[in-house]
Structures are given as C-alpha cells and as structure tokens.
A and B are shown apart, each in its own frame.
Chain A
C-alpha cells in the first residue's frame, strides 16, 4: 500500500509501545449502542421524531405535504433531505429553505431558525407569534426569546428546552412524554 517503510531507526521503542497501548485501550470501554458523529444528522432525526409528540391545529392538515422549513444558513446539508422520504401523519415531508423571514407562510409546519439569524431572532419570533408553526432552534436562549423548542447541547448529548406558553399561543399541543424529557422555560421579558 505504501511505497516505503519508516524503519525502526526513526521510531523510539517507547512510541511503539504507546501506539500498541492505545490500540488496547479501546476494548476496555464498553461499546455503547450507536453513534452519530454528525451533530446535525442527529438534529435532523430529532426534528422528524418531534412531529410525533406535537399536535397541530386541524387547519394545518388541509394540505398535501408537511413543510419543514429552514430559515437562514442551512447547517444540515443533506441530513435534512433524507426526511423527504418520510411522512408525518400520512403527509409527505417537504423541505423548504428560506432566506428571509418574510417568506415564512402556512406552508411551514415546522420552522428551524438557523444560527445565522441570531441578530434578528427576537423580531422574527415575534412576527411568527400566534401562527401554527413549531419553531425550533439551537441558538442559546432560543426558547426564552420566544421560540418553542430549543436544542441544547450538553457535554455529549442533545436535550430540549420548551417554551410551553409560546406553544399554546401558536395553538400547538405538546404531548406529556416529550415534556417529561424537556426543561420548561418561559419567555423572558425585555
């Protein structure tokens, strides 16, 4: 495979043993269930999964597809496109990428607000208030600023913070099992 070998001369014995020790370290750790090296791949899966725990008002279902919209820079890459092969309560998922908050309309059942919209987060969320759109974001303080579900990254895992007050205002019902897994927060006053 390689054209030449490093030869023993260049590799002190200590280094050799260190490498070997590293290889042996591995089996001592019990291999856990499954890995996701990509944070956004996991976030995309979570967005999909959350749809099972949220009830949209009846008018949201008078549609032929279920719109998942991303506002701002798309950090998901193709991870989100994989959802297009899935359904939410019988409706096929359609991914829409939006540049400006003006473009958000009733074709979005879920709106993921990207980090790139940080400076305008509060005004964007205020303008969407009362619309039956599940807003999701991973910016710090997203839920306090009026977003409904915030993804928070712990040391190694991802968790939720939910602004229930804002969900009620949007006419969305969130099922108890999801609330049990989440931290509930309120909109902070400015």
Chain B
C-alpha cells in the first residue's frame, strides 16, 4: 500500500518542474523581433496590416510555446501558486456589485431548461419578452418595443455584434451555437450604451462561450420528438499543445412546422439548420492569452406568406385586381460565417488590455429580398487604476460594414450597395467614494456614424453596499438607437389599391428617409438586491424610460396626389416598469426561481407628425404582466425533475403595422432527467404542455398568425 510521502519527495515536489521554461522566452523575443522588422518595413500601417501583424505575432508566440511541452500537472505546488490567473479588461464583477439590472443565465440553467436553441434560453431571464412568431421567427425584447424586427436590443456572441444593420434587429434563426459550450448569458435590462454602444437602448444580451481549455473531450447531444423532429450536436476538444487548447463542434436541428389556425393546416414554417465552428485558446506568455474562433452556418427555412404581385408584369394578371399572391410557400436561405481573434494582455500592475478583431459575413435570401453583409470590426479596451480608488476602463472601436442587396418589386434598398463606417471611443471611471460601501460610476460613449454624426451616450451610476446583504443602486443614462439601412434607404410596397377602369392600381410605398435620425432614450433606474438569508435572494429594479424621436411611418401625398409613407421621428413615449427576481433554495435538493415584470407605456405623436396620419410602433406589443416560476428538484443523485411555468399577459397590439392583439397565454415546461452513469444523461422534455397550440405574437403583415404547438422530445447527452 502506498504510504505517506517522505520529506524528500515533498521538497522535490516543491522544486521541480521549471525546465523548458527559459527557451520559449527567447523564442518569443525572436517573434517580437520579426514583428518589429515588419513594422519598420511599412511606414504607415493600415488597420488590416496591423491586425494581421497581431495575429501573426500571436501565432508565432503560440507555436513557440507548443515546443515547451509543459503539462501544468507536472509543475510543483510552489510554481502553481506562482501562476497568474489573467484579469479581464472588460470588467467581470460580482452581481452584487453591479449598478445595473443584470441577470445571468448560467450553464446549469440552460441545461436544466431543456431548450435546444439560444433564443429559447433567453426566456430564463426575467423581464425579457421572448415571443415566438412561428417555428423560425422570434420577437425578443426587454422593456417594450417588441416586434419581428425589434431594434432596441444589442446582442453579442463572444464580443461579436449580431444584429442586422438592415433592420437594426436580430434574425434569431441565424444565432446559435453548441449550448453545452456556453459559459453564461449576461442579460442587462435597460441602457448599456456607455460600455457597449449604439442599439443598447433597452438591453444588452451577451452570450459568452467557454474557454477551449474547459471543453476538452467529447460531448454528444441527440434527441427527437414531435416538434423537434431531430437534432444532434457533437463537440470534441483537445489539447493542441501545452498551452493551446481547441475544440470543434457541429450542430444540426430539424424543426417541424407550427399551426395555422386560419386554414387549420400546418403553418409551412418547418426548417433545418446546420452549423459548425471551432475555438482555440492559448497562452502566449503568463500575461498574454489569445483566442481564435469561428463559425459557419446554413439554414433552410420555410414560410407561408402573402406577397404582392407586380401589376406592371403581364404574368401577374391572374392576381388582379388586388395583386396579392396568397399562401406562397417561400423558402428562406440564411447562411454566414465569422472569424474572430482576440488578444488579452495583463500588466503586473493589475491593468489589462484586450485587442479584438472579427470578420462576419451573412447572406439571407427570401422571395422579397436578398441581403448580404460583410462586417469588419476592431475593438480595443484598456483597464487600469490611475489613482487610488479609481478603476478606469476606456477603449475604442472601428467597424466597417459593406452591404449588398438584390432588389425586388416588393422591397428595394437604394442604393443597393453601400460601405458604412462607425467609430467610437468610450471611457468609464469607477470611483470608490467610500471603500466597499459607496461607489460612483461615470462614463460616456462617443460614437460617430455616417448617418447622424457624433452620438454622445453618457451614464452616471451610484452603488451603495449598505451591508453584507443589501445593495442599492441608481442610475441615469442616455442611449440612442442609430438609423438602420431600411429607415434611410428602403422602398417597400405597403399596399396595392385597385382603381376604377381605365386607371392602373395605386401602389402605396413606404420609403426610407435621409433625414431619419437616432431614437433617443433618457433612462432613470433604481435597484435593490437583498439577501435576507443564505438560501434566499431578491433582485428588484424599477425604471422610468423617457423616449424621444421614436420611429414613425408618416403618410404623405406626392405632387401627383399619390399617397406614400415615409420613416420619420415623430413619436414621444415614456414607460415605467418593475422587474423582480427571487431565488429561493428551501432544501438542498430543491430550488425555486421566480421572475416577474410589470410594464406600462404611454405615447403620443409629436406636433410635426403628418396631418394625414402615421403608423408607429407604440410599445403596446409587450404585456403589462409577465411572470415565470421554475422549480428545480434533485430527486436523487441521478434523477432530477424540473418544472417551468410562465405566463405572458395580453398584448394589445403585436407587430408594428398589423396591430393584431394576442390573448394571454400560460406555458408549462417539464423536464425529467436520469443519469445512469456519470457521463450519460437521458431526459424527457415537454414544452407548452397546457394546450394543443397557442398564439404568442403576430409577425409583420406578409405573415399569417401562427400558433405554437405542444412539444415533447427525448434527449441523450453523452460525455466521452
């Protein structure tokens, strides 16, 4: 039997493990030498070259370390204790110390919810309205202004912005990843523009995947059911060298159609998607880490829609006089890829910087348009402590977007091709007024875009940690939502009106407007976090949002008397609301989570609105009351039962133009999981069990109301 180690062994354990460390350092210096030579060769460095330089520098450093062949497990204890854990440039703070409405969806939450895609996971955050329009479309927003193209939310995946510049909204069907590799989803309700930039008006969703070093080995998830016809995802992670870890994944989903209540048939919205990607993380030195990651995806989606026929085209004659082609079985082809590189460096003083560059390509084709975007983004952040009690973060961002459209009769973007640049600078100081008690955060973003010029988005936040268990915070912030491409340059057919003979039908267009400017928000927030007991915590936020210059579609007449609509900024609104989340763990094996949100809005058209009338997204697409209750039970070490009840109140006016009301609905999800072995889990998941089908939201006018059906599926989760 092995016994207790002797003193000699302990001392040996303390001292060994340093060989092979010196050589790589010299090699890294060689890398820097190469980089320096390269920079001398070019008098003026362009951005791309600088990025390429940074990437080659990282690659060089990484490959050098690969020769080191040091396993961390072979280091001595003394050496391990000497290792630095890198600090982040963009601050990671404990929730208790954040002066904003933040909710973190953890990996565990996602796993136990039984969801199969990112948009569905967002329902876990209180105050976020997740409404399904059909099987492949979602309306997702927080604090109101929800619709198919909801545009006041900033969504990022590993620091890559994913909203579409055409609509300033997110095509949720294109946003996904291997759920098992997500570390957490940070949901910030309310403005986050100072740190994150434009579009972060009503919220920020930040999806963060795990470091490749934490996702080693294989994971296979597969399942099938009535609505989830079949899905599977596979990830494999390996150690590429001592300090470099990587993973690759592949994910496939096949989703069944929903229900069309009008025609009592399936809604023709079935779809399949396939995506794959990789992530490589490495440590170049003790103070430098880097990440290289990328994804590629393709979705084949279907939609049943009513489209306009071109009266000028002889082939449209059968559709006269209304020129509507009903129930078109249209296909959506959505595809894209992205590549991102990040370099993080921390200084011995505790300060750190991050330099990140990404390239993102998307292409989406449906009957009425093809849109293509190429985005190149460069981001730098630096965090340091200039004075005692000050924690300063500053940074800049450069983004270049190139778009390309194939215009159709129904929708065109003019010009159909454009290059667009954004650059911004931000600075934020966190001042410790009274150590560990009172903290003031002051900051602002200065962002320049080619449509509206400079936009200033400041914030002031005060955080008071009254005692160990109570935190109170308050804030005032300004945020803007900059114009989308459609609001500036679209020409969309809104209506075809038959006219008496011999006149041709009247075409009513909606036009983009060169004068359309940013929507503005001034937000006042108050929050309380209270933990009366170790097993009970409560988080409450109250807000008052004062909006100005909100989007409207104004009715005008051209000189010939033909009516048309044009985008303008003529709506004023103010909303009030409250968001509450309670987390209670009455027993070690039982946890309850309650989420509730209240929302109220009043809006009015400004005096400059057209006397002929206007259409406006008046904020009535969000229910006054939403709640969810989750119960997570560990019935044994290998058995768990989770219940998830959610309720969304009535929507007065869903969509933007359709304005159709949606009745309140209640959903119940259930998940029973059995873990016969440490690496194997079998689960049965039921969603929306309370009714056969129900309506959650209605999309824009070309789509028909679609109801979401009860879904049951079985899943296998295997680690190998």
Residues of A within 8 A of B (CB): 1-8, 10-11, 15-16, 19-20, 22-27, 29, 31-42, 45-46, 48-50, 52-53, 55, 58, 61-62, 73, 76-79, 81-83, 86, 89-91, 95-103, 116-121, 123-124, 153, 155-159, 173, 175, 177-178, 181
Contact = CB atoms under 8 A, between A and B. Distances in A.
A96 B350 CA distance: 36
Closest 9 CB pairs of A and B: A89-B2, A35-B283, A119-B535, A78-B216, A77-B214, A31-B285, A32-B286, A103-B637, A37-B289
B348 A29 contact: yes
A34 B3 contact: no
Contacts of A73: 106, 108
A39 B183 CA distance: 14
Interface string B79-110: 11111111100000000000000000010100
Contact of A6 (B70, B79, B400): B400
Given A52-B13, A157-B83, A22 B4 contact: no
A61 B421 CA distance: 66
A32 B285 contact: yes
18 contacts: A4-B374, A10-B398, A10-B400, A23-B53, A32-B84, A33-B82, A35-B283, A42-B83, A42-B85, A52-B5, A53-B77, A81-B217, A99-B637, A117-B588, A119-B585, A120-B534, A157-B81, A158-B83
A79 B48 contact: no
Contacts of B78: 181
Contacts of B215: 77-78
Given A22-B355, A89-B2, A100-B637, A2 B216 contact: no
B588 A100 contact: yes
B216 A22 contact: no
A81 B535 CA distance: 30
Given A16-B44, A35-B83, 18 more contacts: A3-B359, A4-B400, A8-B44, A10-B398, A11-B47, A16-B46, A23-B53, A29-B347, A31-B287, A33-B18, A38-B213, A42-B80, A45-B73, A61-B1, A77-B210, A82-B216, A119-B535, A181-B77
A50 B5 CA distance: 12
Nearest to B84: A156
A88 B500 CA distance: 92
B516 interface: no
Q: How large is the interface on B (under 10, 10 to 19, 20 to 34, 35 or more residues)?
A: 35 or more
Chain B CB count within 10 A is highest, among A22, A25, A34, A55, for A34
A89 B246 CA distance: 31
A93 to B, nearest CB: 11
Contacts of A39: 85
Contacts of A79: 213-214, 216
Contacts, number: 246
B98 to A, nearest CB: 17
A20 B45 contact: yes
Given A6-B400, A89-B3, A41 B213 contact: yes
Given A5-B46, A11-B47, A89 B83 contact: no
Contacts of A77: 210, 214-216
A34 B637 contact: no
Interface in B210-231: 210-211, 213-217
Contacts of A23: 35, 39, 50, 53-54, 57
Contact of B402 (A4, A29, A41, A95): A4
A34 B75 contact: yes
B269 interface: no
Contacts of B598: none
A188 to B, nearest CB: 14
Most A Cβ at <10 Å: residue of B77, B85, B355:
B85
B398 A11 contact: yes
B506 interface: no
B339 to A, nearest CB: 8
B434 interface: no
Contacts of B57: 23
Interface stretch (B24-32, B407-415, B480-488): B24-32
Given A15-B396, A52-B9, A177-B11, A2 B83 contact: no
Interface string B48-81: 1010111001000000000000101101111111
A35 B289 contact: yes
Interface in B365-395: 374, 376, 380
Contacts of A99: 589, 634, 636-638, 640
B353 interface: yes
A48 B72 CA distance: 10
B346 interface: yes
Contacts of B533: 119
A97 B376 contact: no
B637 A52 contact: no
B108 A116 contact: yes
B350 A156 contact: yes
B81 A159 contact: yes
